[in-house]
Structure 1
Amino acid sequence: MKKYIFGSMLAKKQLIFWFGVWLFLILLLSTSLSGFVVSIYFVTILMPVVLATSIFFNRFLVPKYLLKNRMSRFFLYLLYMLVVSIYFELLVMVLAFVVLADYQIDNLGKIASDIYLLTLILYLVVFAEGLVLSIQKLREKTQRLAEVEERLANEKQEEIVIRSNRKNINLRLIDITYIESFGDYVKVHLDKEMYTTKEKISSFEKRLPNSFIRIHRSFLVNKAHVDSYNKEEVRLGEKELSIGRKYKKIAEQALQANLTA
Structure 2
Amino acid sequence: MKLKCVIVDDEPNAAKLLEDYINRVPFLELCGVFFDGEKALENMVYSNIDIIFLDINLPGLNGLELASIISTKTKIIFTTAYSQYAVESYEKNAADYLLKPIPFNRFLSSIIKVKDLIEQKDTSGKEIEDADQQEYFFIKTGYETVKIYFRDLKYIEGSREYIFLHTTQGKQMCYKRMKEMAERLPEQFVRVHHSFIVNINHISKVDSVQVFIQEDRIPIGTTYKEILGSIIKNRSI
In the superposition, the TM-score normalised over structure 2's length comes to 0.51
Q: Name 1:222's counterpart in structure 2.
A: 199
Partner of 2:156: 179
- 1:251 and 2:228 matched: yes
Percent of residue pairs identical:
23
Q: Does 1:5 align with 2:22?
A: no
Give 2:178's match in structure 1, choosing from 198, 201, 205.
201
* Residues in 1 aligned to 2:142 and 2:214: alpha-carbon distance in whole angstroms: 27
Residues 198-226 of structure 1 show CA distances to partners (whole Å, capped at 9, x for unaligned) of 11111121111111110001001111110
Amino acid at match of 2:232: L
Q: Which moved more, 1:251-260 or 1:217-226?
A: 251-260
Is this contact kept in 2: 1:185–1:197, CA < 8 A?
A: yes
Structure with more relative contact order (C-alpha pairs < 8 Å, separation 6 or more)? 2
Find the residue that maps to 1:207 and give its secondary structure. Answer: coil
Q: Which amino acid aligns with 2:69?
A: I
- How far 1:162 sits from its partner (Å)? 1.0
CA distance in 1: counterparts of 2:171 and 2:138, whole angstroms: 14
One-letter amino acid matched to 2:205: S
8 Å CA contact 1:187–1:196 kept in 2: the answer is yes
State the Cα distance separating 1:258 from its structure 2 match.
4.0
Which structure features the higher share of strand residues?
2
SS of match in other structure, 2:176:
coil
| Residues 240/4 of structure 1: CA separation in 2 closer, same or farther (3 Å cut) | same
**Structure 1 residue 16, shift from structure 2 partner:** 7.4
Distance 1:154 1:171 in 2: 19
1:180 maps to a residue whose letter is E
Shift of 1:230: 1.6
Matches within 5 A, 1:86-235: 130=65, 133-136=67-70, 140-141=74-75, 148=118, 152-153=129-130, 157-235=134-212
In the alignment, the residues of structure 1 paired with residue 73 and residue 235 of structure 2 have an alpha-carbon distance, to the nearest angstrom, of: 30
Cα distance in structure 1, aligned partners of 2:137 and 2:33: 38
Q: Deviations over 1:150-199 (max 9, x none)?
A: x8427962112111012221111111111000111000011341100011
| Counterpart-to-counterpart distance in 2, 1:11 and 1:197 | 40
Long gaps (5+) in structure 2 = 10-14, 16-31, 41-57, 77-113, 120-127
Amino acid paired to 1:239: D
Go from structure 1 to structure 2 and tell me whether the alpha carbon gap of 1:199 and 1:140 turns closer, same or farther (over 3 Å shift): same
1:19-38 equivalence runs, <5 A: none
| Secondary structure at the counterpart of residue 194 of structure 1 | strand
Distance 1:16 1:217, change over 3 A: closer
Secondary structure of 1:135 counterpart: coil
Number of matched pairs: 149
- Structure showing greater Rg: 1
Q: Give the TM-score normalised by the residue count of structure 1.
A: 0.47
**Contact 2:8–2:36 at 8 Å: present in 1 too?**
no
Change (3 A) 1:138 1:173: closer
Rounded Cα–Cα distance in structure 2 between residues aligned with 1:141 and 1:199: 34
Q: Determine which structure has the larger helix proportion and give its number.
A: 1
Give the Cα separation in 2 of the matches to 1:253 and 1:259.
Answer: 10
Extract unaligned runs of 5+ from structure 1. Answer: 18-50, 60-129
